[in-house]
C-alpha cells in the first residue's frame, strides 16, 4: 500500500503487511502470513473468512467504531465479535517507513499496543484524539474511508473489480478509486465521472424553446434553422407589408376614379331624367294630338253618316245605266233627232215600234204568205234550203280552185317530160351506137380485122355504157315531182267529179222541194226563201228596238232609283252628268265614311295610349325631379335617350369594375395588414426567444467544452503526478 503523504514527501506512507494473527475476530482464528514483495491473492470458499480477513486488517490499522449514535443497528465493534466467543483480539505485523511494527488490539478491553522491532512500545506515536489510535492514518496518510476505497475490495465487491458493465468497471476499479481520491477532496468522484457528466450534459441539452432534449450541437443547429425560418417568415411579412404601398396607391387612384365615375353617372342620370321627361311629355303631347285627330275623324264620320248607306257601286252602276240609257236612246232616236234630246227619249214604246215596223213593210200580204210558207218548214227542208245555198257557194269556190290545180299539174308534167327527154334522146343514141360498135367489134373479132374490132370495142363499150347511164339518169330525173304532179292531177279530177255529182243531187232535191212548196221552179223557191230571210231580219230589228225602248225605261228608272237611294232627288231639268256628279260625291262620302269607321278611326284609336299608360306617364313625369324640367336651351348635339341609356350602362359597368377592383384591393390590403400584425409580433417575439435560446445554448456549449478541456488537462496532469508518486514509492520500497 502507498499513501500520499500530505506533506508531499515521496516514499513516506508506504506500508507492507507481514502477518495477521486473529485470536478472535468474527470467524477468524489463526495466523495469516503475507508475501510483502508480491501480490497476495486470497482465495477460498464462500463464507470462509476472506472479507473478515480484510476487515481484520482494517480493524488492526484503524480500530472498530462502537458508537451507537453512528451505527444504530449494529456497530462494527459488535459485528466482528468472535463467533465462537473467547478473546476478541487481533495482532498485525507490518512494515511502515522501513520500521517493523506489531499492532495489537484487544477489542474486548479496548486496548491498543504498538511495538516496534526494537521492542519499544510506540503506541503514543499513533494517537489521534482522546482514545483513538489510527495506525493506518499515520502510516498511510489515509483515513479509514479512504483506505477502504483505495485498498479494500470486500466480498460482494469482487464483481466490481472487473464488473460486467464498462461504466461500472471504470467506476469501481481500483484505479478509479484511486483517481477519485486524487481528483476530489471527498474522493467520491473522479475526473472521468465529471467528464462523463459534462459530456452527458452536452449530449442531453434540454431546450424548452424547441421542446426537445438533444445534443447541444443539434440543438444549436435546430435553433439556427428555426431562427432562419423565422427570419424568412418575418421578412416575407415585412415584404408583404411593403407591397401594400403600391396597392394603397392604386386603391387611392381607384377610389378617385370611382368618385369621378359616380359624378359622371350622376350627371348622365340627370341628363337622362331630363331626356326621359322630354320623352314623356312628347308622348303625352302626341297622344293628345292623336286624340284630337280621333275626335276630328269621328266628327267627320258623323257628318258623313247620312251617306253611309250609299253602295260603293252606285256610281258605277249609275254611270253604266246612264251610259246604256244613252246608248239605247241613241239607237231609238230618229236620225234627225237633236243631240241632247235624250230628255224626251226613251218614250219609244212597243206600240210605236210595231207601227214603225209596219210602216216599213212593202207588201204585207206577201210577207204573210212567205211566213206561212216557210214558217212550217220541216227542219230537214230548212236544212236542204240552207245546204243548197251554202253548197253552191262552196262548190263554186272549190271548183275554181280545182280547175286551177289541174292546169298547173298538166303544165308541170309537160315540163318534167321535156327534161327527161333531153337526157333520154342522147342516151338512146349513145347506147345504140355503143351496142352497134360492140356488136361489130364482136363480129370483126372473129375475122381477120381483129385489130379494128378492138378499136370498136374500146369505143363502143364506153358509149354504150354512157348511153345506158344517161337513160338511167333520165329515167330517174324528177321522178318524185312527176309522181306528185300526176297525183295532184288525179285528185283534182276526182274531186271535180265528186262535186259535180253532189251538185246534181242538190239540184234534184231542190227541185223536189220546190214542187212540194208550190213553187214554179227552184229559182222561185230560192227567191222566196231569200225574201223570207229578209223579212225575218226586219222583224228582228223592230223587236230589238222595242226591247231597247223597254230597257231604256228600265235604265232610267234604275238611275232615278239609284239617285233616290243616294238621297238625291231627280231633277229632270238637270242632266245626268250633274246627277252623276252628285251621286259620285255621295259615293265618295260613303267610302270616306267607311274608311273612317273601318280603318282610320280604329287605327287612330289603337295608336292612343290607354288610360293606365297615360296615368303612369303623368305620374312618372310628376315624379321626375326638378332637374328633369325641360331645358329651355338644350345643348346642341344633346344625346338621345337611348344613347344616354347606353352611356349610363357603360358607366355603370365601369363603376362595377372599379368597385370590384376596390374591393379586391381593400381585401388584399387588409388581409396583408391583418396577417402582418397578427403574425409579425408573435414571430418577432419567437425569434427573440430563439435568439436567446441560441445564445444560451452556444454559451453552454462553450462553457462545457472549456470545462471539459480544462478538466481533462488538469486531471491528466494530476493523475500523471499520482502515478509518478506511486511508481517511485513502489521502487523505493
Partner 1 sequence: MAAARFLQISDLHLGAPFGWLAPERRAERRREQQRALEDAVAEAIHRRVEGILIAGDLFDREGVDAQTLAFAVHVFEAPGCPPVLIAPGNHDPWSLTSPYWNARLLGARGWSWPEHVHVFTSARWSARRLAGSPVEVWGRSFTTGIPSAERPLDPAMLGDASRENGSALRVAVFHGSREGFLPPGQVTAGPFSDEEARRSPFVYLAAGHYHLRSRLDHAGGVRLAYAGSAIAIASDELGAHGALEVRIDRDRVETEFVELDRRRVHELSVDVSGAASEDQVDRRIFGALDGAGVRECDLATVRLQGRLSRGVRWGRPGAELAARLFHLRVDPRAVRPDHDLESLRRGSGLTTEERFARALLERIQSEDDPDQRAVIESALYYGLDALRLREVTPGYEELGE
Binding site residues, partner 1, CB under 8 A: 4, 6, 182-185, 189-191, 193-195, 197-198, 200-201, 205-206, 241, 244-245, 248-249, 251-252, 254-256, 666, 669-670, 673-674, 676-678, 680-682, 684-685, 688, 695-697, 699-700, 702-707, 710-711, 714-715, 717-719
Q: Of the two residues 623 and 682, which places its CB atom closer to partner 1 in the complex?
A: 682
CA within 13 Å, CB half, 430: 18
Cell numbers 499513501 correspond to 3
Q: Minimum CB separation from partner 1 for residue 4, in Å?
A: 8
Question: Minimal distance in Å, beta carbon 147 to partner 1?
Answer: 18
Q: Is 278 left (phi over 0), alpha (psi -120 to 50) or beta?
A: alpha
Cβ-based nearer residue to partner 1, 165 or 516? 165
In the complex, what is the shortest distance from the CB of residue 151 to partner 1, in angstroms, rounded to a whole number?
Answer: 19
Query: Considering beta carbons, is residue 539 or 668 the nearer one to partner 1?
Result: 668
Whether the CB-CB separation of 83 and 49 falls below 8 Å is answered with: no
Q: Specify the residue, 42 or 685, whose C-beta has the smaller distance to partner 1.
A: 685
CA–CA separation, 598 and 587 (whole Å): 16
Query: Nearest approach, Cβ of 8 to partner 1 (angstroms)?
Result: 8
Burial label, 536 (beta-carbon count in 10 A; 0-12, 13-18, 19+): middle
Q: How far apart are CA 654 and CA 261, in angstroms?
A: 8
Distance of CA 698 to the CA centre of its chain: 63
- Closest CB to partner 1 among 455 and 703? 703
Q: How far is the CB of 235 from partner 1 (least distance, A)?
A: 15
Work out how close the CB of 31 gets to partner 1 at its nearest, in angstroms, rounded to a whole number: 39
Distance CA 197, CA 100 (A): 45
Cell of 476: 330517174
Q: Which of 704, 709, 554 is nearest to 200 (CA)?
A: 704
Q: Strand (E) positions, 139-237?
A: 205-207, 212-214
CB atoms within 10 A of CB 574: 12
Considering the complex, state which of residue 148 and residue 193 has its C-beta at the smaller distance from partner 1: 193
Q: Would you say 111 or 710 has its CB closer to partner 1?
A: 710
3 state DSSP class of 296: helix
> Nearest-CA neighbor of 358 among 347, 371, 367, 349?
367
Report which secondary-structure segment, H or E, holds 28: strand 28-33
Report the residue number, 234 or 337, with the smaller CB distance to partner 1.
Answer: 234
| Helix axis angle, 144-151 to 174-183, nearest 10° | 140
What angle (nearest 5°) sits at the alpha carbon of residue 549, between those of residues 547 and 554?
95
Minimum CB separation of residue 238 from partner 1 in Å reads 9
Q: Which is nearer to partner 1, 229 or 706 (CB)?
A: 706
State which residue, 4 or 80, has the beta carbon closest to partner 1: 4
Least distance (Å) between residue 175 CB and partner 1: 14
In angstroms, give the least distance from the CB of 683 to partner 1: 9
The minimum distance between CB 148 and partner 1, in angstroms, equals 19
Tell me the helix, strand and coil percentages in the chain, rounded to 5: 70, 5, 20
SS3 509: helix
Who's near 274: CB < 8 A, 6+ residues apart? 627, 628, 629, 630, 631
Between residues 384 and 673, which has the closer beta carbon with respect to partner 1? 673
Three-class SS state of 242? helix
Looking at the Cβ atoms of 249 and 656, the one nearer to partner 1 is: 249
Give backbone dihedrals phi and psi of 97, rounded to 5 degrees, phi first: 55, 40
- Supply the DSSP string of 678-728, one letter for each residue: HHHHHHHHHHHHHHHHHHHHHHHHHHHHHHHHHHHHHHHHHHHHHHHHHHH
Amino acid at each position: 500500500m502507498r499513501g500520499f503523504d500530505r506533506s508531499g514527501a515521496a516514499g513516506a506512507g508506504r506500508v507492507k503487511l507481514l502477518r495477521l494473527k486473529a485470536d478472535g475476530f468474527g470467524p477468524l482464528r489463526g495466523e495469516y502470513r503475507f508475501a510483502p514483495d508480491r501480490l497476495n491473492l486470497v482465495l477460498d470458499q464462500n463464507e470462509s473468512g476472506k472479507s473478515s480477513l480484510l476487515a481484520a486488517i482494517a480493524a488492526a490499522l484503524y480500530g472498530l467504531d462502537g458508537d451507537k449514535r453512528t451505527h444504530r443497528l449494529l456497530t462494527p465493534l459488535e459485528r466482528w465479535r468472535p463467533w465462537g466467543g473467547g478473546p476478541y483480539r487481533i495482532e498485525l505485523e507490518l512494515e511502515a517507513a522501513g520500521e517493523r511494527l506489531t499492532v495489537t488490539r484487544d477489542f474486548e478491553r479496548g486496548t491498543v499496543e504498538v511495538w516496534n522491532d526494537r521492542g519499544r512500545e510506540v503506541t503514543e506515536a499513533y494517537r489521534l484524539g482522546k482514545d483513538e489510535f489510527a495506525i493506518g492514518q499515520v502510516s498511510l496518510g489515509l483515513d479509514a474511508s479512504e483506505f477502504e476505497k483505495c485498498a479494500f475490495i470486500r466480498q460482494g465487491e469482487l464483481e466490481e473489480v472487473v464488473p460486467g458493465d464498462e461504466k461500472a468497471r471504470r467506476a469501481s476499479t481500483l484505479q478509479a478509486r484511486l483517481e477519485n481520491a486524487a481528483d476530489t477532496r471527498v474522493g467520491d468522484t473522479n475526473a472521468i465521472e465529471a467528464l462523463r457528466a459534462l459530456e452527458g450534459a452536452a449530449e442531453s441539452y434540454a431546450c424548452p424553446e424547441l421542446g426537445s432534449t438533444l445534443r447541444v450541437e443539434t440543438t444549436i443547429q435546430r435553433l439556427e434553422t428555426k431562427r432562419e425560418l423565422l427570419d424568412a417568415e418575418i421578412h416575407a411579412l415585412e415584404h408583404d407589408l411593403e407591397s401594400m404601398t403600391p396597392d394603397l396607391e392604386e386603391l387611392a387612384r381607384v377610389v378617385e376614379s370611382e368618385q369621378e365615375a359616380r359624378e359622371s353617372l350622376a350627371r348622365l342620370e340627370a341628363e337622362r331624367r331630363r331626356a326621359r321627361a322630354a320623352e314623356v311629355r312628347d308622348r303625352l303631347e302626341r297622344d293628345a294630338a292623336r286624340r284630337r285627330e280621333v275626335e276630328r275623324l269621328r266628327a267627320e264620320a258623323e257628318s258623313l253618316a247620312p251617306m253611309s248607306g250609299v253602295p260603293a257601286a252606285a256610281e258605277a252602276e249609275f254611270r253604266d245605266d246612264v251610259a246604256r240609257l244613252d246608248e239605247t236612246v241613241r239607237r231609238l232616236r230618229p236620225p234627225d233627232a237633236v243631240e241632247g234630246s235624250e230628255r224626251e227619249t226613251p218614250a219609244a214604246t212597243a206600240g210605236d215600234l210595231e207601227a214603225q215596223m209596219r210602216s216599213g213593210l212593202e207588201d204585207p200580204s206577201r210577207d204573210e204568205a212567205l211566213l206561212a210558207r216557210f214558217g212550217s218548214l220541216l227542219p230537214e227542208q230548212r236544212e236542204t234550203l240552207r245546204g243548197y245555198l251554202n253548197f253552191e257557194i262552196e262548190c263554186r269556190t272549190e271548183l275554181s280552185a280545182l280547175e286551177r290545180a289541174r292546169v298547173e299539174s298538166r303544165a308541170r308534167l309537160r315540163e318534167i317530160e321535156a327534161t327527161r327527154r333531153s337526157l333520154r334522146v342522147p342516151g338512146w343514141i349513145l347506147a345504140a351506137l355503143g351496142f352497134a360498135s360492140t356488136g361489130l367489134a364482136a363480129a370483126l373479132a372473129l375475122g381477120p380485122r381483129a385489130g379494128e374490132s378492138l378499136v370498136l370495142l374500146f369505143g363502143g363499150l364506153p358509149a354504150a355504157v354512157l348511153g345506158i347511164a344517161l337513160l338511167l339518169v333520165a329515167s330517174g330525173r324528177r321522178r318524185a315531182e312527176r309522181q306528185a304532179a300526176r297525183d295532184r292531177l288525179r285528185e283534182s279530177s276526182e274531186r271535180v267529179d265528186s262535186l259535180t255529182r253532189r251538185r246534181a243531187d242538190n239540184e234534184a232535191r231542190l227541185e223536189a222541194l220546190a214542187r212540194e212548196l208550190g213553187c214554179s221552179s227552184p229559182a222561185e223557191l230560192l227567191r222566196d226563201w231569200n225574201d223570207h230571210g229578209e223579212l225575218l231580219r226586219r222583224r228582228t230589228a223592230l223587236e230589238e228596238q222595242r226591247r231597247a225602248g223597254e230597257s231604256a225605261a228600265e235604265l232610267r228608272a234604275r238611275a232615278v232609283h239609284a239617285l233616290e237611294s243616294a238621297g238625291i232627288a231627280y231633277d229632270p231639268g238637270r242632266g245626268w252628268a250633274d246627277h252623276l256628279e252628285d251621286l259620285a260625291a255621295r259615293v265618295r262620302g260613303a267610302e270616306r265614311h267607311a274608311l273612317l269607321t273601318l280603318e282610320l278611326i280604329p287605327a287612330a284609336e289603337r295608336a292612343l295610349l290607354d288610360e293606365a299608360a297615360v296615368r303612369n306617364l303623368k305620374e312618372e313625369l310628376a315624379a321626375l325631379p326638378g332637374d328633369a324640367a325641360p331645358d329651355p336651351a338644350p345643348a346642341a348635339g344633346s344625346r338621345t335617350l337611348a344613347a344616354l341609356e347606353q352611356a349610363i350602362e357603360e358607366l355603370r359597368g365601369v363603376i362595377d369594375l372599379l368597385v370590384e377592383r376596390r374591393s379586391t384591393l381593400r381585401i388584399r390590403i387588409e388581409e396583408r395588414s391583418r396577417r402582418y400584425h397578427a403574425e409579425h409580433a408573435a414571430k418577432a417575439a419567437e425569434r427573440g426567444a430563439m435568439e436567446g435560446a441560441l445564445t444560451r445554448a452556444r454559451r453552454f456549449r462553450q462553457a462545457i467544452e472549456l470545462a471539459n478541456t480544462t478538466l481533462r488537462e488538469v486531471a491528466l496532469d494530476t493523475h500523471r503526478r499520482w502515478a509518478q508518486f506511486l511508481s517511485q514509492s513502489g521502487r523505493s520500497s
